[in-house]
């Protein structure tokens, strides 16, 4: 005979596809059970006192990866200091980097209680596509030097989770190959102020089939990354005794990332900076062609808008005065970003300018990155007017230590935080997040 507990056990272990979240109690299960025993009446047997623990548990190697910051701790052991520093580092005094985190601590919540949030969902629609989560993977240059075939790992995890991933212009895998892995990926370009060179790249990206182009605006020149000079890192990387020593003392990374890449695919190159292949990643003398990036202007963006038929975004704005210019240039959205503190030191944290910018966004999407690490950060940004958010470093560390499943695990952690915090805050839909749910933190904590 089937008792109530057994019926429930067979029904509660439902999981979302692709291991997206923890075990979900199917809300129909209790109703089905009650109806089966006494239609219209909730019998005492229908009361559920226990549910089955998930059998689809976290992989053993990920068991102490509970929050996004945990990935950085693990990656620090796995990566040579120069590679770890390349990812974690920021320019000069690192004030923007710290300020990005501090900006999120200046807001507290005013949660609403006694709201039925059992139907809550983190699904978010952006540019006509519904994603499972309100966050995505920011463009991350050199990813395939940090993690084996890093760009493909990020793209595949994004496909599995159903979240956007932006392929970096400084990537080491051909954009055509990344598109084949994930046709929903976006492409980010670092452009020179030379329309002919721009047009050739834009045509290549369009011919591949990408639907979304992101033009990064905050890199007319490279920021002052002293941390790279100190640790021995450069792009392309020069093979010095220091680099050899750091690599040799991190054999898992050396064999698992560099040796495998050379053995299976040859020397990695900067494949997507321009329409043509760029220099190799390891080189004594070669440099990336960054000429004329400091000439890039709104006029170039207007010309791109006329040529590019897909969705167009500009990334790296922080000044509110730039936003109406972006809108007049015809972009579909802006990504407010200070490049995670990697370009101009003391560039304002995007969260601090978000309310002012969101108030005047018109029909554009306003997206934010830099410093987001927790579900509460995501909810604060959305409550202050962001339509979507991106994260950078945590996903690259996750790819370094766990490949595709590491990145998916990181996304799953953040999704669960978002969904848990929605319940604690009393909202069912992310569109219900408004500034009323926030209050400035009275004093620094
Ligand atoms: C290792 C690394 C490489 C990056 N490469 C690029 C890039 O190629 N293009 C770009 O627009 N932004 C790049 N960024 C900036 C990120 O896209 C994003 O703006 C930033 O990481 C967000 O801050 P967060 O790391 O605190 O989440 C890079 C960031 C890191 C950490």
Query: What digits encode the pLDDT tens for the residues 35-67?
Result: 444 444 445 555 666 777 665 567 788 889 999
Closest atom of ligand 1 relative to the 171 alpha carbon: 8
Q: In this predicted structure, what is the pLDDT of residue 61?
A: 82
Q: In this predicted structure, what is the pLDDT of residue 38?
A: 42
Nearest CA to ligand 1 atom 21: 392
Q: In this predicted structure, what is the pLDDT of residue 56?
A: 58
Q: In this predicted structure, what is the pLDDT of residue 382?
A: 98
Closest atom of ligand 1 relative to the 396 alpha carbon: 1
Is 339 assigned a catalytic role?
yes
Q: In this predicted structure, what is the pLDDT of residue 31?
A: 35
In whole angstroms, give the CA distance from residue 321 to residue 444. Answer: 29
Chain centre distance of CA 314 = 16
Per the CB < 8 A criterion, the answer to whether 78 and 394 are in contact is no
Q: Which residues pair with 108 in a beta bridge?
A: 439
How many Å lie between the centroid of ligand 1 and the Cα of residue 408?
Answer: 19
* Mean predicted lDDT score pLDDT of the chain: 89
How many Å lie between the centroid of ligand 1 and the Cα of residue 37?
Answer: 56
Can you list the residues of the chain whose pLDDT is less than 70? 1-49, 53-57
In whole angstroms, give the CA distance from residue 56 to residue 406. Answer: 16
Tally of CB atoms within 10 A around 129 = 13
Closest atom of ligand 1 relative to the 139 alpha carbon: 17
Please report, for residues 192, 216, 220, 278, 316, the alpha-carbon distance to residue 295 in angstroms, rounded to integers and kept in the order given. Answer: 7, 13, 7, 20, 16
Q: Could you identify the residue written with the tokens 């009393």?
A: 426
Q: Which residues pair with 333 in a beta bridge?
A: 313, 365
Q: In this predicted structure, what is the pLDDT of residue 254?
A: 97
Q: Which residues pair with 280 in a beta bridge?
A: 269
Q: In this predicted structure, what is the pLDDT of residue 285?
A: 75
Q: In this predicted structure, what is the pLDDT of residue 43?
A: 54
Per the CB < 8 A criterion, the answer to whether 354 and 338 are in contact is no
Q: In this predicted structure, what is the pLDDT of residue 381?
A: 98
Domains belonging to the chain, first-starting first, are 4-51 (no CATH), 65-440 (3.20.20.70)
Nearest CA to ligand 1 atom 3: 140
Q: In this predicted structure, what is the pLDDT of residue 312?
A: 98
Q: In this predicted structure, what is the pLDDT of residue 47?
A: 65
Q: Categorise residue 333: left if φ over 0, alpha if ψ from -120 to 50, beta otherwise.
A: beta
Q: In this predicted structure, what is the pLDDT of residue 275?
A: 92
In whole angstroms, give the CA distance from residue 262 to residue 147. Answer: 13
How many Å lie between the centroid of ligand 1 and the Cα of residue 227?
Answer: 15
How many Å lie between the centroid of ligand 1 and the Cα of residue 222?
Answer: 13
Q: In this predicted structure, what is the pLDDT of residue 60?
A: 83
In whole angstroms, give the CA distance from residue 363 to residue 381. Answer: 18
Residue in 351, 339, 337 with CA at minimum distance from that of residue 380: 351
């Amino acid at each position: 005979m089937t008792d109530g507990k057994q019926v429930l056990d067979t029904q509660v272990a439902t999981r979302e596809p692709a291991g997206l979240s923890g075990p979900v109690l199917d809300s129909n299960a209790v109703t089905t059970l009650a109806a089966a025993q006494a239609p219209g009446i909730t019998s005492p047997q229908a009361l559920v006192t226990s549910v089955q623990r998930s059998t689809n548990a976290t992989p053993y190697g990920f068991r102490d990866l509970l929050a996004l910051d945990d990935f950085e701790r693990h990656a620090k052991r796995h990566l040579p200091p120069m590679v770890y520093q390349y990812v974690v580092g920021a320019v000069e005094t690192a004030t923007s980097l710290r300020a990005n985190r501090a900006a999120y601590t200046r807001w507290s919540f005013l949660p609403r209680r006694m709201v039925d949030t059992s139907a809550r969902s983190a699904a978010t629609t952006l540019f006509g596509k519904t994603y499972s989560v309100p966050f995505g993977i920011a463009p991350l240059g050199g990813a395939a030097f940090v993690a084996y075939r890093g760009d493909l790992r990020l793209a595949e995890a994004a496909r599995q989770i159903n979240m956007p991933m932006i392929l970096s212009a400084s990537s080491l895998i051909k954009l055509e190959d990344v598109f084949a892995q994930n046709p929903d990926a976006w492409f980010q370009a670092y452009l020179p102020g030379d329309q002919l060179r721009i047009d050739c790249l834009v045509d290549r990206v369009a011919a591949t089939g990408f639907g979304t182009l992101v033009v990064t605006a905050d890199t007319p020149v490279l920021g002052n990354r002293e941390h790279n000079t100190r640790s021995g890192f450069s792009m392309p990387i020069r093979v010095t005794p220091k680099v050899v020593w750091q690599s040799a003392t991190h054999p898992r990374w050396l064999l698992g990332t560099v040796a495998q890449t050379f053995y299976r695919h040859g020397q990695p190159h900067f494949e997507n900076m321009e329409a043509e292949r760029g220099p190799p990643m390891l080189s004594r003398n070669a440099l990336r062609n960054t000429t004329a990036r400091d000439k890039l202007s709104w006029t170039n963006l207007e010309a791109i808008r006329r040529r590019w038929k897909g969705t167009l975004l500009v990334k790296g704005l922080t000044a509110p005065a730039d936003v109406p210019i972006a809108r007049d240039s015809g972009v579909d959205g802006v990504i407010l970003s200070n490049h995670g503190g990697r370009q101009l030191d003391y560039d304002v944290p995007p969260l601090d300018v978000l309310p002012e910018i969101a108030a005047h966004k018109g029909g554009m999407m306003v997206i934010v990155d830099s410093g987001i690490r927790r579900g509460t950060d995501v909810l604060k940004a959305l409550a202050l007017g962001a339509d979507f958010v991106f994260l950078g470093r945590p996903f690259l560390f996750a790819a370094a230590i766990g490949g595709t499943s590491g990145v998916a695990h990181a996304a799953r952690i953040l999704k669960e935080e978002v969904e848990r915090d929605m319940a604690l805050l009393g909202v069912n839909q992310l569109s219900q997040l408004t500034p009323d749910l926030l209050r400035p933190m009275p004093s620094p904590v």
